[in-house]
Amino acid sequence: MSTITCIEDLRLAARRRVPRAFFDYAEAGSYGQETLRANREDLARVKLRQRVLVDVAERELSTTIIGEPARLPLALAPIGLCGMQHGDGEILACRAAQAAGIPFTLSTMSICSIEDVAQAVERPFWFQLYVMRDRGFIRALIERAAAARCSALVLTVDLQVLGQRHCDIRNGMTVPPQIKLANIIDMASKPAWALSILRGKRKTFGNLAGHVRGMEDVTSLAQWTNSQFDPTLSWKDVEWVRGLWPGKLILKGILDVEDAKIAASTGASALVVSNHGGRQLDGAPSSISALPKIADAVGAEIEVMFDGGIRSGADVLRALALGARSCMIGRSYVYGLGASGEEGVATAIAILARELDVAMALTGIKRVRDIDLGIITQ
């Protein structure tokens, strides 16, 4: 890998190494990508207050996230098809997160299964759940997450229907997948990636394969999955999930104050202010613009997490100042994974940690828990 100084370097390295269809899948937002762009642009608009001559020799980046000690105010967000950025991608990302002392979230749509990851890592991780039409399957999935000793269930609530990403259609990342000649040629030109995928434990949706009857090949599994997203999903289903999952619950994908208030009344441990990384409702506000109102309305009742557009430690500082207790990162670590597997994810986390540390020092902040609105300026 050439010299890596920032998340953008990891992005460029991933672009060189990962076949276009999978790189684009990670990169893109839905439709005109307005919300995707707004996530980054609005973060950059939040100006930090430079303070000088404050003794900041001793700095402390650790915190707690839903009561669990974390060495940084960060968690790895659930990412579907992580194992297509790098073979065994979910296991590698989980190991990097645990080595850095932060939570990892396994997606329902992962390549490695819950059991694969549980066997390969030492400590509990979080499991992200999509509630699908087949409630029997979902009940079994929740039981599997409990059996694997997952320490939190992250229930994603912003995907009742799927937003469209144009590039996925052009690249044949459709359901069922199209095998296009251009993709085959492209994949053949990425030997390190191809080798890592060949060596990986699995090549399909690990949590679903073998658990949905009659759905053994990728095509029928993909068709099943597509027909399973459930537009009838409602707050009643959140209650249903709570009844099945005795542990900590996180509601991910809240962008509106009214929804946040309902989320706070469910007894969940945390909510994540998120627009799914600009991949669902295009035209929705950026996550950072929605955060302060939500934190004001419910911050005292429920822990507020944040995601959407975090590419630097300064971005983490901005989100914490505007009311989040911690941030989830998505693409920032996916780029690291695509660039160089576990080492790349570790590098992404280390970059964000170092940048956060410097940004704290230059805003006169010594401890993560002291970050507040006072460090924001016009």
Ligand X SMILES: Cc1cc2nc3c(=O)[nH]c(=O)nc-3n(C[C@H](O)[C@H](O)[C@H](O)COP(=O)(O)O)c2cc1C
Residues found near ligand X in the complex (CB under 6 A):
25-26, 39, 77-80, 107, 109, 128, 156, 252, 274, 276-277, 279, 307-310, 329-332, 334
Residue (128 or 225) nearer to ligand X, CB: 128
Q: At its nearest, how many Å lie between ligand X and the CB of residue 284?
A: 12
Q: Is 58 exposed, middle or buried (0-12, 13-18, 19+ CB in 10 A)?
A: exposed
Q: At its nearest, how many Å lie between ligand X and the CB of residue 54?
A: 30
Q: At its nearest, how many Å lie between ligand X and the CB of residue 30?
A: 11
Find, among 287, 251, 323, 277, the residue nearest to 66 by Cα.
251
Residue (25 or 295) nearer to ligand X, CB: 25
By Cβ distance, which residue is nearest to ligand X? 330
Q: How far is residue 112's CA from residue 88's CA, in Å, rounded to a whole number? A: 6
Q: At its nearest, how many Å lie between ligand X and the CB of residue 219?
A: 20
Residue (68 or 315) nearer to ligand X, CB: 315
Of residues 86, 166, 211, 276, which has the active-site annotation? 276
Residue (90 or 342) nearer to ligand X, CB: 90
Longest dimension (CA), the chain: 67
Query: Does the CA dihedral 358-105-226-240 come out positive or negative?
Result: negative
Find, among 45, 217, 84, the residue nearest to 93 by Cα.
84
211 is catalytic: no
Residue (44 or 56) nearer to ligand X, CB: 44
Q: At its nearest, how many Å lie between ligand X and the CB of residue 334?
A: 6
Q: At its nearest, how many Å lie between ligand X and the CB of residue 374?
A: 26
Question: Any residues with CB less than 8 A from the CB of 366 and at least 6 apart, and which?
Answer: 56, 58, 59, 60, 360
Q: How far is residue 367's CA from residue 282's CA, in Å, rounded to a whole number? A: 36
Query: Does the CA dihedral 177-275-332-70 come out positive or negative?
Result: negative
Q: Give me the DSSP letters along 132-173.
A: BS-HHHHHHHHHHHHHTT-SEEEEE-S-SSPPP-HHHHHTT-
Residue (250 or 375) nearer to ligand X, CB: 250
- The torsion angles phi and psi of 69, rounded to 5 degrees, stand at -65, 140
Query: Active-site residue numbers?
Result: 276
